[in-house]
Chains A and B, each alone.
Chain A
Amino acid sequence: MVYSKTVPWLLVMPTLIFLAVFIGYPLYSAFALAFSGDTSAFETFKELFHSAMFWRALKYTLLLAVVIIPIQLTLAIALALLVNSKFKGYTFLLYIISIPLALSDVTAGLMSYTIFAPMGYLNKVLLNFGWIEHPIYFFGFMYHTREFWVIVLTEIWRATPLVFVIILAGLQSINKEYLEAADIFGFTRAQKLFKIILPLLKPSIMSALLMRTLFAFQIFGVVWMLAGRDIPVLAGETYYQYVQLNNPKMASAYGVIIAVITLVISIVYNFTLRAKHLEGGR
């Protein structure tokens, strides 16, 4: 590496300027828009906090996160252990698991719709086996509990691979010698998992959790495709406020809420992560 004070900054400058103009300034404008009222700066937020839809959106966003994330994490760890056992043909399974990584949330929503639509494959199969007389309806406001669970299932299908990839990378970086030592001491499989692998995976698990929690507050495509506003979520309301109601102030207020939640979560996670690292160092 070469030491230089000016050259690297010149090379980095275009990136910094671009990010300042296209992320920094709009971020500032989001706050400026949300806090611009005719009578008081908090006008928009007053309205927001008084609307039932905001609280429903917040409730459903949190509910989806709380239901989905633990399932995803458990599945991802199990899948990573499976793939990391390096059986014959594991690369093929690795490719299959990573397919959802390439797909957008809109596509994932549509795929799930293929199965759960009134004339979808689930209903067709059940009808043909004579297990049901009429198609089961999964969509529509009347059935919004079912919609909720279809969204949960779709998100588990779509985003578990994201968690899986991080956990797998963590697993691969574990020093084999620890496990060999454990074998010598006669550890059982369960002991190896709970006493060695999981503790060493902690940093990967934490960063996967952070990433998933942040993304959970941006959940949009799957919900919008499958349930529209039957299951309101924060990002969906942002979209609705701007596109349907043409209300950029309210849309920005929703955006600011998402940004603040994101910030708080990152800080909390960073804090706990740091603390854990320090403990490990002692």
Chain B
Amino acid sequence: MIKKILFWFVVIMVAVWFLTPVVMIVIAAFTPANEYYNPHKIFPSHLTFDHIYKLLFVLGGWKATLTSIEVALTAIALSFLIGLPAGYAMTRYFFPGKNILRIGILMTRSIPLIVIAVPLIVIYMQIGLADTVMGVALAHTAMILPFVVLITSSIFSGVSVEYEEAGMVFGLSRFQSFIRITLPLALPGLAASAIFSFIMSWNEVFVASILTLTNRTLPAHILNTAMTSPDYFKFAAGTIMAIPAMIFIFFTRRYLITMWGISLK
């Protein structure tokens, strides 16, 4: 009995430890300024949308949010367009140099983005990509692409080759059979990895803030303005960044362990 109580106590403490900061920042983001600065009030007497509203529509947060979404969607589109065929080739074909290729792609993942950010902006300035949404999107594509290749290859290997071959027996070409049989079967996994890629881009701050000045993504915008803004704007910013990520993770929770397993290899 005591053992059982102790066990559940530990479980609850773990949950509290991980949830508290998230809950606290959301409460803080909706606390009126005068109550936040009142040391005798822990919980607010009423909630306000003031800080979130001002952060979004007066301090440029909305524009930054849109930029973030644009960057993420472009990066996802590009990385799937480029990476999907490679992922397919890695799982359906046997070819000389395949192992070296796999190791090479894995290795690009361990190159810190921090290292390539500065030379990238120097290059961008020469070709007119500095401070553009496209520039950041391309850099994020480079970050996501190795992950997309590895994850799609693992997803495709989960779809039995026999379905595809059956299609080919009935007269489809390999490409047709891929589009009409394999792709629909792989769709849930692909959607989950697209969401995962979205979060990788949504959260990336270092490269985004080096590459842009006026077209900043949300985290880059916050990184550069948070230091000088009052506390409640910081909390509003944290809340705006946290909520989409948490919702997305909720929808992909079934795939979470597999995907982190692959992305962290």
**Contact residues of A with B, CB < 8 Å?**
1-5, 7-9, 11-12, 14-15, 18-19, 22-23, 25-27, 29-30, 32-33, 79, 82, 87, 93-108, 110-115, 117, 119, 121, 123-125, 127-128, 135, 157, 161-162, 165-166, 168-169, 207, 211, 214, 217-218, 220-221, 224-225, 228, 235, 238-239, 242-243, 248, 251-252, 255-256, 258-259, 262, 266
Further contacts, 6 of them, CB under 8 A, given A102-B249, A124-B41: A25-B123, A99-B18, A107-B241, A207-B265, A255-B118, A259-B111
Q: Are the CB atoms of A19 and B14 closer together than 8 Å? A: no
With both chains docked as a complex, state the minimum distance between the C-beta of A176 and any C-beta of chain B, in angstroms.
18
With both chains docked as a complex, state the minimum distance between the C-beta of A111 and any C-beta of chain B, in angstroms.
4
Q: Are the CB atoms of B39 and A127 closer together than 8 Å? A: yes
Q: Are the CB atoms of A3 and B256 closer together than 8 Å? A: no
Contact A26 B116, CB 8 Å, known A11-B86, A125-B42:
yes
Q: Are the CB atoms of A111 and B93 closer together than 8 Å? A: no
B101 interface hit (Cβ, 8 Å): yes
Q: Are the CB atoms of B108 and A110 closer together than 8 Å? A: no
With both chains docked as a complex, state the minimum distance between the C-beta of B31 and any C-beta of chain A, in angstroms.
10
Q: Are the CB atoms of B253 and A98 closer together than 8 Å? A: yes
Q: Are the CB atoms of A23 and B42 closer together than 8 Å? A: no
Query: What does the 1/0 interface line of B58-80 toward A look like (CB < 8 Å)?
Result: 00000000000000000000000
Q: Within the assembled complex, what's the spacing in Å between the Cα atoms of A117 and B230? A: 11
Query: What does the 1/0 interface line of B243-265 toward A look like (CB < 8 Å)?
Result: 00110111001001100110011
User: Which residues of chain B have C-beta atoms less than 8 A from A105's C-beta?
Assistant: 203, 205
With both chains docked as a complex, state the minimum distance between the C-beta of B11 and any C-beta of chain A, in angstroms.
6
Q: Are the CB atoms of B114 and A235 closer together than 8 Å? A: yes
Query: What does the 1/0 interface line of B87-110 toward A look like (CB < 8 Å)?
Result: 011101111111001000100101
Partner of A30, one of B118, B241, B242, B245: B118
Partner of B264, one of A3, A23, A162, A235: A162
Q: Are the CB atoms of B115 and A30 closer together than 8 Å? A: yes
Q: Are the CB atoms of B146 and A255 closer together than 8 Å? A: no
Q: Are the CB atoms of B86 and A15 closer together than 8 Å? A: yes
B172 interface hit (Cβ, 8 Å): no
User: Which residues of chain A have C-beta atoms less than 8 A from B138's C-beta?
Assistant: 22
With both chains docked as a complex, state the minimum distance between the C-beta of A166 and any C-beta of chain B, in angstroms.
6
Q: Are the CB atoms of A217 and B112 closer together than 8 Å? A: yes
Interface of B is mostly: helix
Q: Within the assembled complex, what's the spacing in Å between the Cα atoms of A204 and B202? A: 28
User: Which residues of chain B have C-beta atoms less than 8 A from A119's C-beta?
Assistant: 36-37, 39, 231
**Contact residues of B with A, CB < 8 Å?**
7, 10-11, 14-15, 17-22, 24-25, 28, 36-37, 39-42, 82-83, 85-86, 88-90, 92-98, 101, 105, 108, 110-123, 138-139, 141-142, 145-146, 149, 161, 199, 202-206, 209-210, 219, 222-223, 226-227, 231, 234-235, 237-238, 241-242, 245-246, 248-250, 253, 256-257, 260-261, 264-265
Which partner residue on chain B sits nearest A24 by CB separation? Answer: B108
Contact A102 B261, CB 8 Å, known A225-B223, A243-B209:
no
Partner of B118, one of A22, A82, A248: A248
Partner of A169, one of B89, B95, B142, B257: B257
Partner of B108, one of A12, A23, A32, A169: A23
User: Which residues of chain B have C-beta atoms less than 8 A from A110's C-beta?
Assistant: 25, 222, 226, 234-235, 237-238, 241
Q: Are the CB atoms of A93 and B11 closer together than 8 Å? A: yes
Which partner residue on chain A sits nearest B265 by CB separation? Answer: A207
Q: Within the assembled complex, what's the spacing in Å between the Cα atoms of A167 and B8? A: 22
Q: Within the assembled complex, what's the spacing in Å between the Cα atoms of A207 and B263? A: 12
Q: Within the assembled complex, what's the spacing in Å between the Cα atoms of A121 and B43? A: 9
Contact A123 B86, CB 8 Å, known A93-B11, A99-B22:
no
Contact A102 B248, CB 8 Å, known A95-B253, A166-B264, A255-B114:
yes
User: Which residues of chain B have C-beta atoms less than 8 A from A128's C-beta?
Assistant: 39-40, 42
Contact A7 B122, CB 8 Å, known A104-B219, A107-B242:
no
Which partner residue on chain B sits nearest A97 by CB separation? Answer: B18
Q: Are the CB atoms of B256 and A101 closer together than 8 Å? A: yes
